Structure 1
Amino acid sequence: MVNLSANFAEHPKQTRNYDLFFLNQNPSSVESFKSMTNLITDSLGEIFATHEHPYEGGKPADLEARVRKLSLFTYDGERLENLLRDIDGPLLRSNLAITHEKAAAHLHCPPLMPALGAEMVINAFNQSMDSWDQSPAATYLENEMIRWLTGKFGYPAGSDGAFTSGGTQSNYTGLLLARDSFCWKKWGWNVQKQGLPPAFNRLRILCSEHAHFTVKKSAAQLGLGEEAVVPIKVNNHHRLDIDNLDKTLQELYKADLQPFALVATCGTTDFGSIDPMREMAGLAENHGLWLHVDAAVGGALVLSEQHNEKLAGIQLADSITVDFHKLFYQPVSCGAFLVKNHSSFRFLQHHADYLNPEEDEEEGITNLVNKSVQTTRRFDALKLFFSLRIVGTKRFGEMIDKPIHLAKEVAAHLERSADIHVIDKDPELNMVVFRYIPRMLWEEKHVDQLNRDIQQELYHSGKAVIAKTTVEGRTYLKFTLLNPRTTITDIKEIIADIDTIGKNKAGRLIQ
């Protein structure tokens, strides 16, 4: 093992020893990098091989105390072995093991091995995707990946997009373009130059009441305020109700308000429900609204042979959000924002002399900062590229389908329990929402507390990691199934633990 810090400390005045800290043409730097990666790989391998439970970090206060005891820096440096030994318990082994079969809480996926390999390449070159001179070949690969994606989603020639940090940034970008496009068409008002128009407080965004919270967050950041978002009631399948949408639009116009954007959700976070995108597209066209589809969750169905038809109508949207760090199994962060018309990006463009001067465009140089709200940005497209090449789209589709099929099997099993109420007996995607209601408990507040206690007990005991959520004011539990290796046997064991914990705690609540 090359001891980086000790080697440098021996020759502090010799600049060449910096080579041991940077990967470059010096053979010693390459050997040092190999030694470091081998040591870290061995450490991680040992940890993952012995991780019996999805979480082994203990209670929050105890874990915080152990982390706070760690030294944050050294003066003379130390060996990597010492550092890894120091953080083994409080950091590495106390992490959530997201690859564990019983980690089923959030839309937080186990990352594919090819993507982890791509991360090494991304980090080693450390290039930024804002300008061509910082990321020459990477610029063209990202463009090719975007071209492939827009084609898969059924967009026509002239469409475009950019990789993003995820759904939050993508949804924000979609609503920003929607706002500025509407203001220009309606009032000839350039928001980028002039700020918000005088009538900005009349602008409205419509979406399902189950839409992601980033719709409201984006409205606030865009200067419109959360009250500019008008939630539309959902039907029994938790999808936006078209009749209610039509009625609400008429009411808004009568109140002299200006709807400008309609957001369809393709895979809600709780139920995985998919709004009727084709019908929403028809209303959007009739009323001159920008249709944005938040397919952060459901966008992965583009690779599914069995469930692809659920994306019907998505190609009619003006813009699309898709995340790859969910059902595409990519490391955080990795997402994309797609637009039907490349010219929509004109509302983002700002030319900086040092970075993306106008003459670059005249010379045919591509600077991707012109398509992003970010400046410095990672080469995340490489992760998806590695994964698609090595895994293949056929197996990718099978990996996406498996959790969806498992969710249906889990819902059917839960339905057979006398003490469990399942909200959706035929889940659309990979989420199952349920509530543990033992017959001995009658008061809703006790049932709410019991379900919270069950979720916490499962987590801190290390038995399983599942989520809790709120439906109509009541506390529910949720399986978010993202791991293709998770089986019905794993989930049945969690359900058995839920029943045991539930019965024990219910008895105490009624005493």
Structure 2
Amino acid sequence: MSPSPAQLQHLFHPDHLDGYVDAMRLGVDHLAATMRRLTGPATGVQPEQAAKPIADVDLDAPLGDAAEALAEMSRVYLDDAIWFHDPTYAAHLNCPVVLPALLAEVFVSAVNSSLDTFDQSVGGTFVERHLVDWTNGRIGFGRGADGIFTSGGTQSNLQGLHLARDRALARTAHGGPHALSRLRILASADAHFSVQKSARLLGLGADAVVAVPVGPDRRMDVDALAGALDDLAAYGLSPMAVVATAGTTDFGAIDPLAAIAELCRRHDTWLHVDAAYGGGLLVSPTRRHLLVGIEHADSVTVDYHKTWFQPVSASALLVRDGRHLGHVTWNADYLNPKDAAHPNQVDKSLQTTRRFDALKLWLTLRTMGPDTIGAYVDTVVDLARDAYDALADDPYLELCAEPGLSTLVLRYRPAGMSEDEADLLAPRIRQVVYERGTAMVAATKVNGRCWLKLTLLNPLATLDDVLSVTGRLVEVGRELTEEAAA
């Protein structure tokens, strides 16, 4: 049965623009009204409470009215959403987003360009390519560099290691069915979990990732890396890639990139730099030097939806020699034939259909400029340092390490409390703070011990905001300790 004219009015079309404008206004007003009522980053709702109202919705019975649908959406989602813009949100690597990027989202969604082929995107193809070239310039890559936008750091890391794997296999003198089993990836013990995940997806063995120790500053130990590379050669194994991290998830530590790059050159090994977190330093007016050596990488991950303050998703894989991207190329006559007259981005991507996420960064740069983004990065890094200094003598809190970027790892542990007691308290403190809706922090483990983590990515947050969060951690810690003693 064909849809009725009333049903067709839901399609985005020139005849329906008045309806589109009304719907957008209704949605923006609804969102603004919601945000004006917020009193914290979370409401503390538990999984079972969140799941039930959604399970009760009959998706075969539409409400037929946008206002009613928005009201229902608030009940099942928005009323209990996590708000990253709140200055007391300090959990994961989630950032508040800039207005020019939100403006771009209107066009990204409505026009719905797909960035796989030129004939689905036209100018979008070259906007993305120009941003890739610009980022490569910031990294320090020369002519011949290239890259592609991706869904996030995990995909960027996967593709970077995919290129490294295929390069290693093409160069191996042995080949054969056992070639994969001899490949190894070296990464610090604090590297992102997507390195192990990528190894599995790439068909490597469970022991393919070699964890290189970190020093007291949580950076990769270069001497240990040198020893590990020598050991691989002694055992007839092949170092497929070294992954250096520019901003570890827990500590924001930046591995010594220049020294690692020299070892990779000496061993003729692919260097992938995971700068998903620290990539914002590329536009920092004062801290760009922290990434010295990144220009020697073979591939680099940058997440614009972290320290560039873009909405999810916006990431990129950048490569020093664009010819390596050919390892992911596959031609189809109906999409990207070998004799295509126009450039097709799908030739460089693990994805086929892709959103025009590059437009968000484009409008951000054209409206605000890179220096403003860099100033935001400096602000949150300064905030983490100020908070660390302010908490250094706190009698109730134990600090794990100095911040490398904008994270603080700490826990409630007053004098006389054992590590075992602190281990038991940390997750309970985090849960109570979440349930009260007054703040949000993350949890992690360091050397098997439980810690709490503050991730500071809000340029509007102040030292007082951070200290109010840590004050709540202490308050809850004291309450739980007193309850246990009663």
| Pairwise TM-score range, normalised by the shorter structure | over 0.9
How do residues 147-166 of structure 1 correspond to structure 2 at under 5 angstroms? 147-166=133-152
Supply the distance in 2 between the matched residues of 1:226 and 1:493 (Cα, whole angstroms).
43
Supply the distance in 1 between the matched residues of 2:180 and 2:404 (Cα, whole angstroms).
37
**Selected match of 1:184 from 170, 185, 193:** 170
Kindly provide the amino acid, as one letter, of the partner of residue 170 in structure 2. W
**Selected match of 2:123 from 115, 137, 143:** 137
Q: Is the 8 A contact 2:397 2:474 kept in 1?
A: no
Q: Go from structure 1 to structure 2 and tell me whether the alpha carbon gap of 1:240 and 1:25 turns closer, same or farther (over 3 Å shift).
A: same
**Selected match of 1:453 from 415, 428, 437:** 428
Find the counterpart in structure 2 of residue 260 from structure 1. Answer: 240
Supply the distance in 2 between the matched residues of 1:439 and 1:342 (Cα, whole angstroms).
56
Find the counterpart in structure 1 of residue 113 from structure 2. Answer: 127
1:270-324 superposed Cα distances (whole Å, 9 cap, x missing partner): 0000001111111101111000000000011001011110010000000000001
Find the counterpart in structure 2 of residue 435 from structure 1. Answer: 411
1:375, CA displacement in angstroms?
Answer: 0.8
Find the counterpart in structure 1 of residue 199 from structure 2. Answer: 219
Find the counterpart in structure 1 of residue 36 from structure 2. Answer: 49
Find the counterpart in structure 2 of residue 390 from structure 1. Answer: 367
**Selected match of 2:183 from 180, 184, 203:** 203
User: Aligned pair 1:21/2:10, yes or no?
Assistant: yes
Find the counterpart in structure 2 of residue 380 from structure 1. Answer: 357
1:199, CA displacement in angstroms?
Answer: 2.3
User: Aligned pair 1:63/2:47, yes or no?
Assistant: no
Supply the distance in 2 between the matched residues of 1:226 and 1:376 (Cα, whole angstroms).
31
Q: Is the 8 A contact 2:406 2:457 kept in 1?
A: yes
1:155-186 superposed Cα distances (whole Å, 9 cap, x missing partner): 00110000000100010001110010111122
Q: Is the 8 A contact 1:411 1:424 kept in 2?
A: no
**Selected match of 1:36 from 1, 23, 29:** 23
Supply the distance in 1 between the matched residues of 2:407 and 2:177 (Cα, whole angstroms).
42
**Selected match of 1:307 from 269, 273, 287:** 287
1:346, CA displacement in angstroms?
Answer: 1.4
Find the counterpart in structure 2 of residue 169 from structure 1. Answer: 155
Find the counterpart in structure 1 of residue 90 from structure 2. Answer: 104
1:25, CA displacement in angstroms?
Answer: 2.3
Percent of pairs identical after alignment?
Answer: 38
Q: Is the 8 A contact 1:101 1:483 kept in 2?
A: yes
Kindly provide the amino acid, as one letter, of the partner of residue 278 in structure 1. A
User: Aligned pair 1:343/2:320, yes or no?
Assistant: no
Q: Is the 8 A contact 1:441 1:506 kept in 2?
A: no
Supply the distance in 2 between the matched residues of 1:236 and 1:440 (Cα, whole angstroms).
24
Unaligned runs of 5+ in 1: 1-11, 190-195
User: Aligned pair 1:494/2:469, yes or no?
Assistant: yes
Find the counterpart in structure 1 of residue 440 from structure 2. Answer: 465
1:188, CA displacement in angstroms?
Answer: 8.5
Kindly provide the amino acid, as one letter, of the partner of residue 374 in structure 2. G
Find the counterpart in structure 2 of residue 88 from structure 1. Answer: 74
1:452, CA displacement in angstroms?
Answer: 0.8
How do residues 237-386 of structure 1 correspond to structure 2 at under 5 angstroms? 237-360=217-340, 363=341, 365-386=342-363
Supply the distance in 2 between the matched residues of 1:293 and 1:227 (Cα, whole angstroms).
21
Q: Go from structure 1 to structure 2 and tell me whether the alpha carbon gap of 1:274 and 1:187 turns closer, same or farther (over 3 Å shift).
A: same
DSSP 3-state at the match of 1:143: helix
DSSP 3-state at the match of 1:187: coil
Q: Is the 8 A contact 1:438 1:506 kept in 2?
A: no
Supply the distance in 2 between the matched residues of 1:417 and 1:89 (Cα, whole angstroms).
41
Q: Go from structure 1 to structure 2 and tell me whether the alpha carbon gap of 1:288 and 1:13 turns closer, same or farther (over 3 Å shift).
A: closer
DSSP 3-state at the match of 2:211: strand
User: Aligned pair 1:408/2:385, yes or no?
Assistant: yes
Supply the distance in 1 between the matched residues of 2:395 and 2:44 (Cα, whole angstroms).
33
Supply the distance in 2 between the matched residues of 1:14 and 1:182 (Cα, whole angstroms).
55
1:421, CA displacement in angstroms?
Answer: 1.0
* TM-score computed with the length of structure 1 as normaliser: 0.92
Q: Is the 8 A contact 1:129 1:368 kept in 2?
A: yes
1:71, CA displacement in angstroms?
Answer: 3.2
Q: Is the 8 A contact 1:266 1:272 kept in 2?
A: yes
Find the counterpart in structure 2 of residue 424 from structure 1. Answer: 401
DSSP 3-state at the match of 1:99: coil
Kindly provide the amino acid, as one letter, of the partner of residue 106 in structure 1. H
Kindly provide the amino acid, as one letter, of the partner of residue 87 in structure 2. E
Kindly provide the amino acid, as one letter, of the partner of residue 67 in structure 2. E
Of stretches 405-414 and 52-61 in structure 1, the one that deviates more from structure 2 is 52-61
Q: Is the 8 A contact 1:234 1:241 kept in 2?
A: yes
Kindly provide the amino acid, as one letter, of the partner of residue 44 in structure 1. L
Kindly provide the amino acid, as one letter, of the partner of residue 12 in structure 2. L
Supply the distance in 1 between the matched residues of 2:382 and 2:53 (Cα, whole angstroms).
41
1:63, CA displacement in angstroms?
Answer: 2.1
Supply the distance in 2 between the matched residues of 1:63 and 1:251 (Cα, whole angstroms).
51
DSSP 3-state at the match of 2:410: strand
Supply the distance in 1 between the matched residues of 2:177 and 2:306 (Cα, whole angstroms).
37
Q: Go from structure 1 to structure 2 and tell me whether the alpha carbon gap of 1:353 and 1:428 turns closer, same or farther (over 3 Å shift).
A: same
Supply the distance in 2 between the matched residues of 1:406 and 1:454 (Cα, whole angstroms).
23
| Aligned positions, number | 486
Find the counterpart in structure 2 of residue 8 from structure 1. Answer: none
1:197, CA displacement in angstroms?
Answer: 4.1
Q: Is the 8 A contact 2:44 2:434 kept in 1?
A: no
1:103-130 superposed Cα distances (whole Å, 9 cap, x missing partner): 1100011111111111110111112111
1:416-449 superposed Cα distances (whole Å, 9 cap, x missing partner): 2111111223x2200010121133533x332112
Extract structure 1 runs of 4+ deviating beyond 3 A. Answer: 12-19
Unaligned runs of 5+ in 2: none
DSSP 3-state at the match of 1:259: strand
Of stretches 386-395 and 53-62 in structure 1, the one that deviates more from structure 2 is 53-62
DSSP 3-state at the match of 1:357: coil
Supply the distance in 1 between the matched residues of 2:357 and 2:3 (Cα, whole angstroms).
36
